[in-house]
Amino acid sequence: MMGLIRQLQRRTPLGWLQLRHDKGRLMVALAGIAFADVLMFMQLGFQGSLYDSNTRVNRAMLADIVLLSPKALNLQNMSTFSRRRLLQAKDVPGVQTATALYVGSITWKNPQTLLSATVQVLGFAPDEPTFNLPEVEQQLDKLKLPDNVLFDRKARGKYADAIARIDRGEKVTTEVDRRTLTIAGLFSLGASFGADGSLMASDQTFLHLFPRRNAASISIGLIRVKPGSDPQQVATALKGHLPEDVRVLTYQEYVEFEKNYWRVASPVGFVFGLGTAMAFVVGVVIVYQVLSTDVNAHLKEYATFKAMGYSNSYLLGVVFEEAIILAVLGFIPGSIWPLGLYALAAKATALPIHMTASRAVIVFLLTVIMCLLSGAIATRKLQSADPAEMF
């Protein structure tokens, strides 16, 4: 072992010396790798914000188990089921509460611009805890008044002046189908790919806004289990007790259900995944061009090394050394530039786009694989180099 360490210490860093010899080519290579990294970071960032933003409401629900219609696709494409299923669910041992949630989308007049905009409405009984949002819990009494709603201060659109007026305690109203709504308070949740913003309303106000909806037909059932009960076991019991016109999911399964829609059924998730793959391919091509040019430029030198008795594995190691150096040096600017781009995109789209440690690790590993793959392709000609043909 000590002999191997001494050998590595005595080894001349040929890969680094060759890269450093042509600084112009090195800068071009690093710029290309950084560009590929930025593309991968942006695609993965948008993909992460897709899953994060579209599960915000799901993760804010106070529930251990969720009941859905089997026809429901995601939060913006819900189907309804009978409210009687909540009463039946209470007969199952371990169930503590069963709360109804109504979900729908309306077109209202933006209270600031007076232009039409679409927002998501979440209706529930104010006396029944439904969301784990302190701002909503503190203002439940306001929802008991007819046509009073709470508005998401992080909604996408021009609402800054209206939000400032509400913060000052002023009364702000708007219209929905010639019906006047009063924005009685604010809460913080955020926009998503599926909705620009959300309104919290009582179940009675919700039914006023959606006169064709039947009070007995609900969108989601929120089940909370008794302390000490296992949600998985209770969910299994509910599946056996309730008819097939309702789907039973644990809280975590419900969050994954929403993610899977955007990951598999929605074309948006596929587009971001394809964009990441294309960025990877672009990086492979760029690094290959650099390493291939370097190998061709020093082919006689490599042939001389082979004539001196150096093995192919040693020469391949030189090229792979260059690939790893390029990966590390190119990743540094490639991971810094996205920080500013993330901030710019988050401000423009009101989506949760930010750098995460796991994403940085993933892109770094992809960068190393990208460069090693390019190096492996670039060394094909090196392996067939014959010293006798070179001189």
pLDDT for 371 equals 87
Please indicate, yes or no, whether the overall pTM of this predicted structure exceeds 0.85. Answer: no
The arrangement of strands across the sheet holding 247-250 comes to 172-176, 179-187, 148-152, 198-202, 116-124, 95-109, 220-225, 65-68, 247-250
- Whether 313 shows a pLDDT value over 60: the answer reads yes
Give 95-139 pLDDT, tens digit per residue: 999 999 999 999 888 898 888 888 999 999 999 889 999 999 999
Whether residue 326 has pLDDT greater than 80: yes
pLDDT tens, position by position, 175-195? 888 889 999 999 999 888 888
Q: What is the mean pLDDT of the chain?
A: 86
pLDDT of residue 385: 58
3-state secondary structure of 133: coil
Position 167 pLDDT exceeds 60: yes
What is the identity of the amino acid at 309? G
DSSP code, position 334: H
363 vs 298, residue with greater confidence: 363
Q: CA torsion angle for 44, 49, 55, 60 (degrees, to 10)?
A: 130
pLDDT (mean) for 192-201: 88
To the nearest 10°, report the CA torsion of 34, 36, 40, 42: 70
- Virtual CA dihedral for 64, 68, 72, 78, nearest 10 degrees? -90
The C-alpha atoms of residue 307 and residue 294 are separated, in whole angstroms, by 20
Six token digits for residue 27:
């800068």
- Band of residue 337 on the pLDDT scale cut at 50, 70, 90: very high
pLDDT of residue 8: 39
Q: Is the pLDDT of residue 311 over 80?
A: no
Residue 373 has pLDDT above 50, yes or no: yes
Is pLDDT larger for residue 87 or for residue 5? 87
